[in-house]
Amino acid sequence: MGLVSAKEMLEKAKAGKYAVGQFNINNLEWTKAILLTAQENNSPAILGVSEGAGKYMGGYDAVVGMVNGLMKDLNITVPIALHLDHGSYEGAKKCILAGFSSIMFDGSSLPFEENVEKTKELVAACNILGLSLEAEVGSIGGEEDGVVGLGECADPEECKTIADLGITMLAAGIGNIHGVYPDNWAGLQFDVLDAIQQKTGAMPLVLHGGTGIPDDMIKKAISLGVSKINVNTECQLVFAEATRKYIEAGKDQQGKGFDPRKLLAPGFQAIKDKVKEKMEVFGSIDKA
Ligand code: 13P
């Protein structure tokens, strides 16, 4: 099966009270690990690509070619969306042309009226092409690939205005932060999430900054309408840890342990294990 829009998988998730994971990719090992784990667990999944990661991988055409090729060669039959993460307006247009199946336009740092106008234009383009579109209100805290947010909570009224433009899913800041949470983190603001869900009804809500959010908070967020959860840093941390252990044990200096296929194998397996663990918590296993 080829790439699909995230619309149907997220509507099913919202109705079924579970969430689909967005796992960000950085290279071939990341992509292969996530695709195989989704297939083995009969789970839908979303591959997230930040603008920085897209550039790192050579560009959006290279990303689309790699993902489509792996889907075919690995015979992936579960629903997979290829999604631009925190896209600028220009980045969104480039990914639409390159063949992404899902787009996030992050206009949260723009004046609200401009966020509305640009989101509206992208709704029209994505509708014609059958792509899903995520918009954002109230920035996510922390820093990801140069996109810095102060982490303010979204205004439920503004969420309703953006949701009514015809987007597929809505990211709303509720005290979530990209990267590792600081010790003094106040936690997710469930009263804000509840107010947003009441205003936006059936709209699937997106929780960014999935790394390090305790499982009970994840489950409560899903019960309040979150249907897509983004995880990036956690896969990077387990990949780095597994690779470090391999090198510290001197395995790269034994036999052909320096072969990249051996050197990167523990990190690859660590990503698979982490993605499976998240799919279990999100409840997406056997929901393909
Ligand atoms: P983390 O890196 O905190 O998991 O956040 C990922 C994310 O929200 C991508 O948009």
Distance CA 155, CA 195 (A): 9
Ligand 1 neighbour 51 (Cβ under 6 A): no
Number of folded domains that form the chain: 1
pLDDT in tens, 133-188: 999 998 776 767 767 665 678 999 999 999 999 999 999 999 999 999 988 888 99
Stretch 260-283: mean pLDDT, rounded? Answer: 98
Give the Å distances, CA to CA, from 275 to 132, 164, 280: 23, 32, 9
Could you confirm whether 85 is annotated as catalytic? yes
| 226 lies in some domain | yes
CA 206 to chain centre: 9
Stretch 22-27: mean pLDDT, rounded? Answer: 98
- Whole-prediction pTM value? 0.96
**Owning domain of residue 169:** 7-234+274-282
CATH of the domain at 129: 3.20.20.70
Stretch 64-85: mean pLDDT, rounded? Answer: 98
pLDDT in tens, 32-59: 999 999 999 999 999 999 999 999 999 9
| 260 lies in some domain | no
List Cβ neighbours of 195 (8 Å cut-off, separation of 6 or more): 156
Q: Which of 85, 145, 155, 252 is catalytic?
A: 85
Ligand 1 neighbour 230 (Cβ under 6 A): yes
Query: Which residue minimizes the CA distance to atom 9 of ligand 1?
Result: 230
Stretch 60-84: mean pLDDT, rounded? Answer: 98
Ligand 1 neighbour 232 (Cβ under 6 A): yes
| 259 lies in some domain | no
3-state secondary structure of 99: coil
Ligand 1 neighbour 106 (Cβ under 6 A): no
Average pLDDT for the chain: 95
| 138 lies in some domain | yes
Percent of the chain having pLDDT more than 90? 92
